[in-house]
């Protein structure tokens, strides 16, 4: 259950791998910056199963390029850990100018399962140099974490319900296409407040990325920040959600917050 909850977040993140290879560079952006920290409660029905944190702690240099270090962590609660312990950490290093990754790390500890994976994205030679081999990549390809932050720099003001965008995302050893459908706008309440939001849905297809998961829906603030507020997925019994509880260090005002 906790693994499925974690995956629902990462599927939503992976949904935003960019538009086309040529469109995956953001020359300037004001949606986020160093010091941002977002805290989510992970829930299965009325049970709080864990906490997820997305943060940008510092600048780092990777392969001679100045980057923003971005971290995403998931930790099960002490009570839930008695049944199934989860301690996961993802990191991506975003080019400060282009908002595409130069390096990616994945460290998973879920029950008895563990996995450590890293990749250097040679964006000049179009090769992903990973702990599992070298693989070809298109220009400015994204990993599952950098993709989400790139998506926060996009303009959704002219999007219409039902419109789809075809995306690219590097996952494990391949670059996968994925369609994302714009659903519309909605005002929702979470612990962090009440927000006017943009709603999108990754279109999971048989034989594609994350084909075994249920429907995923993501809410982001309808403003320049595009802060993630809620992720929801349907499972065989009930639903799993991640809801924003706290936020710090935003790069600008949340004009979408109503209370």
CA dihedral in degrees (57, 192, 257, 8; nearest 10)?
70
Ramachandran category for residue 9: left, alpha or beta (phi over 0 → left; psi -120 to 50 → alpha):
alpha
pTM, rounded to two decimals? 0.85
User: What residues pair up with 169 in beta bridges, in sequence order?
Assistant: 176
Structural domains of the chain ordered from first start: 2-248 (2.40.360)
pLDDT tens sequence across 147-184: 788 888 888 888 899 988 776 788 888 888 767 788 99
pLDDT tens sequence across 179-230: 778 899 999 999 999 999 999 887 654 334 344 455 788 899 999 999 999 9
**CA gap 231, 97 in Å, rounded:** 28
**CA gap 120, 241 in Å, rounded:** 32
pLDDT tens sequence across 94-134: 999 888 999 999 999 988 999 999 999 999 999 999 999 99
């Amino acid at each position: 259950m906790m693994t499925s909850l974690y995956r629902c977040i990462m599927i939503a993140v992976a949904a935003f791998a960019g538009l086309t290879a040529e469109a995956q560079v953001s020359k300037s952006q004001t949606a986020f910056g160093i010091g941002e920290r977002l805290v989510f409660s992970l829930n299965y029905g009325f049970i709080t199963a864990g906490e997820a944190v997305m943060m940008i702690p510092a600048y780092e240099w990777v392969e001679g390029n100045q980057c923003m270090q971005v971290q995403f962590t998931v930790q099960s609660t002490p009570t839930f850990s008695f049944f199934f312990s989860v301690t996961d950490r993802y990191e991506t290093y975003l080019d400060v100018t282009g908002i595409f990754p130069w390096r990616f790390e994945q460290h998973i500890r879920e029950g008895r399962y563990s996995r450590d994976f890293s990749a250097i994205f040679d964006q000049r030679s179009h090769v992903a140099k990973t702990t599992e081999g070298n693989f070809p990549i298109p220009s400015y390809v994204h990993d599952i974490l950098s993709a989400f932050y790139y998506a926060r720099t996009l303009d959704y003001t002219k999007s219409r319900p039902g419109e789809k965008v075809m995306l690219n995302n590097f996952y494990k050893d391949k670059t996968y296409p994925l369609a994302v459908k714009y659903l519309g706008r909605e005002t929702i309440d979470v612990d962090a407040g009440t927000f006017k939001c943009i709603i999108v849905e990754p279109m999971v297809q048989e034989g594609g990325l994350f084909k075994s998961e249920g429907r995923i829906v993501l809410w982001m603030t309808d403003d320049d920040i595009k802060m993630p507020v809620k992720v929801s997925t349907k499972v065989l019994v009930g639903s799993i959600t991640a809801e924003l509880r706290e936020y710090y260090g935003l790069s600008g005002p949340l004009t979408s917050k109503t209370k």
